[in-house]
């Protein structure tokens, strides 16, 4: 999987020429996709958009990885997250979300400039007519669902359909990694991260049931990378390792969790997890005790044979 991306470089672009038609009261397009080409917007692990001349084209012909400002990038992200609903967002709502500290008139002006820049990238640069990818009028804005798809929608579709390994592959990192933690970004990022952790546990369960313990352990360790203090994942991993005969490895996972908990919160693992660790230690002690007893018996027999009649 792709590692969480760094912040996309921010390049200041001069907005030259005409204005976004939302200023003048005209329409920015009728909102009908023309059926030519597809933009794939990647929101997980960073932000990038790539244009494919046909949906099955192997490589994109254009890509956008640098934006006029970070706010322009966040505008694309906000619209892309809504694309599956096909619902248009009010301009005032978007402007207030992206420029909360600006006066309403200034926020709308910045929104118009950002929309103008996005339209040039999504339509003009790839030879598409106005309104084929981005629909905007005086009141609302939206992306055209037939012209745009996202990795978030692919991830969530795989989760809904129970295709856990496909969901894990689709999740390339935290939502909008490297971008500011606006409240709406933070909440959506946390929601998707929680869904990803659930997909990892489900993928581990499916792999274990399919007798692929190595894959199951790998999924659980990925889940621990996301949340190193998740006792439920540690318990799953301990049970998996113990069933494979790696009781010592299971106890190492328990001790590692205890160290992390003490360092973070000065706490010990939960009583339930402590009980699991005790039961695993007992499984190690039983064969050791039998081995000690067998050694003692061999010594007694040896001494008996050496004793003179």
Sequence-distant contacts of 11-16: CB under 8 A, at least 24 apart: 11/66, 11/67, 11/68, 12/68, 12/69, 13/68, 13/117, 15/68, 15/113, 15/116, 15/117
Query: What pLDDT band is residue 31 in, cutting at 50, 70 and 90?
Result: very low
Domain 180-301 falls in which CATH fold? 1.25.40
pLDDT above 90 for 32: no
The two tokens of residue 240 are 């998996």
Q: What is the pLDDT of residue 278?
A: 94
Read off the pLDDT band of 23 (50, 70, 90): very low
CA nearest to 217, candidates 225, 226, 208, 209: 208
Apex 93 CA angle, 92 and 95, nearest 5 = 65
Task: Please give the pLDDT value at position 142.
Answer: 96
- Residue 33 is classified by DSSP as -
Tens of pLDDT, residues 210-229: 999 999 999 999 999 999 99
Pick the residue with more confidence: 55 or 188? 188
Q: What are phi and psi of 14, to 5 degrees?
A: -75, 125
Lowest model confidence (mean pLDDT) among 2-11, 103-112, 231-240, 247-256: 2-11
Confidence category of residue 26, pLDDT binned at 50, 70, 90: very low
165-218: per-residue pLDDT in tens? Answer: 999 999 999 999 999 999 999 999 999 999 999 999 999 999 999 999 999 999
Residue 22: how many CB atoms within 10 A of its CB?
A: 21
Tokens of 185: 């970004």
Q: Out of 91-100, 218-227, 240-249, 288-297, which region has the weakest mean confidence (pLDDT)?
A: 288-297
Q: Domain coordinates of the chain in residue numbers?
A: 1-179, 180-301
pLDDT at 5: 35
Average pLDDT along the chain: 85
Cα–Cα distance list, 55 to 35, 43, 58, 59, 127 (Å): 10, 19, 9, 10, 16
User: Which comes out higher in pLDDT, residue 113 or 12?
Assistant: 113
Q: What is the pLDDT of residues 99-135, one digit of tens each?
A: 999 999 999 999 999 999 999 999 999 999 999 999 9
Q: Provide the pLDDT for residue 27.
A: 37
| C-alpha of 91 from chain center | 28
Q: What is the pLDDT of residue 22?
A: 36
How large is the average pLDDT for residues 280-295?
66
Instruction: Give the pLDDT score at 204.
Output: 98
Q: What is the pLDDT of residue 290?
A: 53
pTM: 0.79
Whether 246 has a pLDDT exceeding 80, the answer reads yes
What pLDDT does 304 receive? 55
pLDDT in tens, 146-169: 999 999 999 999 999 999 999 999
Q: Specify the DSSP class assigned to residue 87.
A: P
């Amino acid at each position: 999987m792709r590692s969480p991306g760094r912040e996309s470089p921010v390049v200041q672009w001069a907005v030259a020429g005409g204005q976004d038609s939302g200023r003048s009261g005209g329409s920015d397009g009728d909102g009908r996709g023309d059926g030519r080409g597809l933009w794939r917007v990647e929101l997980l692990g960073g932000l990038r958009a790539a244009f494919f001349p046909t949906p099955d084209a192997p490589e994109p012909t254009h890509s956008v990885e640098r934006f006029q400002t970070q706010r322009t990038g966040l505008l694309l992200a906000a619209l892309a997250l809504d694309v599956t609903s096909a619902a248009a967002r009010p301009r005032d709502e978007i402007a207030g979300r992206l420029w909360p500290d600006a006066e309403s008139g200034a926020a709308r002006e910045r929104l118009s400039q950002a929309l103008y820049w996005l339209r040039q990238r999504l339509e003009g640069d790839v030879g598409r007519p106005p309104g084929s990818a981005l629909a905007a009028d005086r009141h609302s804005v939206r992306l055209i669902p037939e012209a745009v798809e996202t990795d978030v929608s692919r991830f969530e579709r795989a989760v809904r359909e129970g295709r856990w390994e496909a969901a894990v592959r689709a999740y390339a990192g935290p939502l909008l990694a490297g971008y500011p933690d606006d409240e709406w970004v933070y909440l959506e990022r946390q929601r998707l991260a929680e869904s990803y952790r659930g997909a990892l546990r489900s993928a581990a369960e499916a792999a274990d049931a399919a007798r692929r313990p190595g894959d199951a352990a790998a999924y659980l360790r990925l889940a621990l990378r996301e949340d190193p203090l998740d006792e439920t994942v540690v318990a799953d991993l301990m049970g998996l390792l113990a069933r494979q005969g790696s009781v010592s490895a299971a106890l190492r996972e328990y001790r590692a969790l205890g160290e992390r908990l003490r360092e973070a919160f000065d706490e010990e693992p939960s009583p339930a997890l402590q009980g699991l660790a005790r039961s695993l230690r007992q499984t190690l002690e039983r064969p050791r005790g039998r081995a000690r007893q067998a050694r003692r018996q061999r010594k007694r027999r040896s001494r008996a044979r050496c004793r003179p009649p």
